[in-house]
Structure 1
Amino acid sequence: MVVGDFPLNGKTAVVTGGGSGINLSFVRLALQAGAKVLVADLKLLPEAEQVIADSAGNAYFMTCDVSNWRDLEAIPNTVTQAFGKDTIADVWIAGAGIFEPKWSSFLYDTETDHYKALQINTEHPIKLTRIAMRSCVGVNKPCVVLITASVAGLTGSYGAPLYCASKHAVVGFTKSMAQADEDENCKIVCICPGIVKTPLWTGNDAKHVASQFSFDDRMAVTADEVADAMMEMVQSSRWPGGSMMEINKANGRSKVDSVRSEEAVSKAGAETAEAKQWLENFHRPIREVWQKERGVANGVK
């Protein structure tokens, strides 16, 4: 049981961070493909307001602070309120993110209790995935979760160590969740863009970052290019659960290799009885949890 091809026509999507940048471009493409879209963000750029106004009721905005779990937990009910009784989102895009602003960074260290950047970039996509799976497993419905990671999740950078750490975390999470496609009909993937021409690099609040990293349009892909790649990952069976795509100006789109401990054990044991037993023991408690949640309408605990 895998999700396989998953055309967006007739589907409902949730897009965090859909008020601007890459995720706004994805919202446009999803609407053009025939989907309904809930945009969850702190605010909308004027362009996003216009997209929603022109959507004939197929797009809806909810104010959402993705660092606040109560806001994230409210998403399933908001989908139902926006698009009708019993509507459960099919596609969940964890797109909201920040780079490494001075107010939440390793270097400037201004925060007193936690790193907000980690809440936004790491906790939010992981929590959204849990909410998505609970919602869809609860009604025996397939789903796709796409996390916006970064090439920074594949390499390191002394200039942005907290950002790199946050993206490494969701890359590791995506690899770990590959089995959910086969077991639970829930496909979790991530995209790893290089530098993208978005407000994250070009906005007024990002001037110091653009200067530090010598941002130049010529080294950047566009938000539309990344959104189109996201559409491919969501809809095509060529990108099964656990897949990661890198997209950058120099090399275009490419698949990132992923190795999981389960695969390593299977290869080492050459599918021996011992290896099969190890995998069965390893997966059993996870499968038991999903089995208990299966059939719980709208993911309500």
Structure 2
Amino acid sequence: MATGTASTLFSVDGKTAIVTGAGSGINYSFAKLLLSRNCNVVIADLGLRPEAQKLVDEYSSPTGKARAVFVKTNVVQWPELENMFVVAEKEFGGADIVCPGAGIFEPHWTNFWHPPGTPQSKDSPQPPSGIGHYALLDINLTHPIRCTQLAIARWLNPGPNSKVGKASLANPKRVVHISSIAGQTPSFSTPMYVASKHAISGFIRSLAQLDTVGIRVNGVAPGIIKTPLWTDHPEKLQMLDSTQDAWVEPSEVAEAMLRCCEDDSVVGGWVLEVGKGQTRNVEWRDDPGPRGAGMSAGNAEKAVGEVFGWLGEDGWGVA
């Protein structure tokens, strides 16, 4: 979905990025890559895993070529999203790159098969406001949409403390989202996660024409990545067959995310699928779907069987 509009070539060198969820996983790898390329990074997350804390410590010096700043952020709280941008402006004069990457892989506590009010769910069946929320959708979908709005608003209306300037073809900006191959495929065991990633891919494609004002919105759609979304969740690991399934390394996804920023052949609206040793644009129609190493879970039927076991229990879904 190219727009045919050319803008100034973009380099992350000397820029500033806001990356949510960078306390671990893909987003940590992307933050690390950006810092190595002399790009300041505002790391926004609820906390930092040891490797991320080490990264922040390593890039804490104000005299270095690049600096990392941690901002404790709950991405479902809109004032805290706003605060990320305030911190970026205070510390660096604003951000040129925004990656709303925080996400979860349908854990039991916010899961279609564990409805609100049942023992494992933390989603409330009777919220005080009366307006219901699934935490998974707030994290995976609402937060990246709101982050994108906040970024566009600042880039089109830079405030007095902004040093990044107004977005234009001569002063381009970037939004990099994280979708998934789940945005192309169904999964009976994780239907809300699949819904969120279909939605993000559609959202990315729908904003392709922002290229015409210098704001490029695109993203990546990784396969099965070796991150805590899998490795910290035994209920998810049962879906993998270690004898045939391949991991996609976080560094491979981070490189694709860098391409989304810098590669002028990757235009607004593109969703770059990332498999083991392979990257391609996912067409918005008539696409053949994910294939190759790192794209499938050989034991997915185990998770399906588990779901049918829950459905067979007396009182399924009753709060």
TM category (shorter chain) comes to: 0.7 to 0.9
- Cα distance in 1, alignment partners of residues 269 and 6 from structure 2: 12
- Cα distance in 2, alignment partners of residues 62 and 106 from structure 1: 31
- Cα distance in 1, alignment partners of residues 91 and 205 from structure 2: 33
Query: Which deviations, in whole Å up to 9, do the C-alpha atoms of 1:73-132 show, x marking residues without a partner?
Result: 11211112223xxx1200001110000100101011132232100000000111100011
- Cα distance in 1, alignment partners of residues 11 and 284 from structure 2: 25
Q: Which amino acid aligns with 1:123?
A: T
Greater helix content: 1
Aligned position for 2:32: 28
SS for the counterpart of 2:186 is coil
SS for the counterpart of 2:237 is helix
Aligned position for 1:80: 89
Aligned position for 2:102: 96
Q: Percent identity?
A: 37
Given the alignment, which residue of 185, 203, 222 partners 1:173?
203
Given the alignment, which residue of 126, 142, 155 partners 2:145?
126
TM-score (norm 1): 0.80
User: Residue 96 and residue 216 in structure 1: after superposition, are their counterparts in 2 closer, same or farther (change >3 A)?
Assistant: farther
Whether the 8 Å CA contact 1:38–1:61 is kept in 2: the answer is: yes
- Cα distance in 1, alignment partners of residues 223 and 70 from structure 2: 28
Query: 1:258 deviation in Å?
Result: 2.8
Aligned position for 1:247: 274
Q: Which amino acid aligns with 1:72?
A: L
User: Residue 258 and residue 3 in structure 1: after superposition, are their counterparts in 2 closer, same or farther (change >3 A)?
Assistant: farther
- Cα distance in 1, alignment partners of residues 37 and 148 from structure 2: 23
2:225 is the alignment partner of 1:225? no
Given the alignment, which residue of 138, 144, 150 partners 2:157?
138
SS for the counterpart of 1:196 is coil
Q: Which amino acid aligns with 1:194?
A: G
- Cα distance in 1, alignment partners of residues 264 and 8 from structure 2: 4
Aligned position for 2:78: 69
Query: Which deviations, in whole Å up to 9, do the C-alpha atoms of 1:145-191 show, x marking residues without a partner?
Result: 00011000111111110000011111110110001111x21100010
TM-score (norm 2): 0.76
Aligned position for 1:162: 192
Aligned position for 1:290: none
Aligned position for 2:179: 149
Q: Which amino acid aligns with 1:190?
A: G
Query: 1:216 deviation in Å?
Result: 3.7
Given the alignment, which residue of 47, 66, 69 partners 1:60?
69
SS for the counterpart of 1:191 is strand
- Cα distance in 1, alignment partners of residues 176 and 42 from structure 2: 15
Aligned position for 1:210: 237
- Cα distance in 1, alignment partners of residues 235 and 182 from structure 2: 18
- Cα distance in 2, alignment partners of residues 9 and 165 from structure 1: 35
Q: Which amino acid aligns with 1:233?
A: C
Q: Which amino acid aligns with 1:81?
A: K
Unaligned runs of 5+ in 2: 116-120, 126-131, 159-165, 286-319
Query: 1:3 deviation in Å?
Result: 4.2
Aligned position for 1:258: 284
Q: Identify the range of structure 1 (191-200 vs 228-237) with the bigger mean alpha-carbon deviation.
A: 228-237
SS for the counterpart of 1:92 is strand
2:229 is the alignment partner of 1:200? yes
Whether the 8 Å CA contact 1:132–1:143 is kept in 2: the answer is: no
Tell me the number of residue pairs that the alignment of Structure 1 and Structure 2 aligns.
Answer: 251
User: Residue 144 and residue 3 in structure 1: after superposition, are their counterparts in 2 closer, same or farther (change >3 A)?
Assistant: farther
- Cα distance in 2, alignment partners of residues 149 and 67 from structure 1: 18
- Cα distance in 1, alignment partners of residues 138 and 8 from structure 2: 31
User: Residue 3 and residue 94 in structure 1: after superposition, are their counterparts in 2 closer, same or farther (change >3 A)?
Assistant: farther
SS for the counterpart of 1:197 is coil
SS for the counterpart of 1:156 is coil
Whether the 8 Å CA contact 1:88–1:136 is kept in 2: the answer is: no
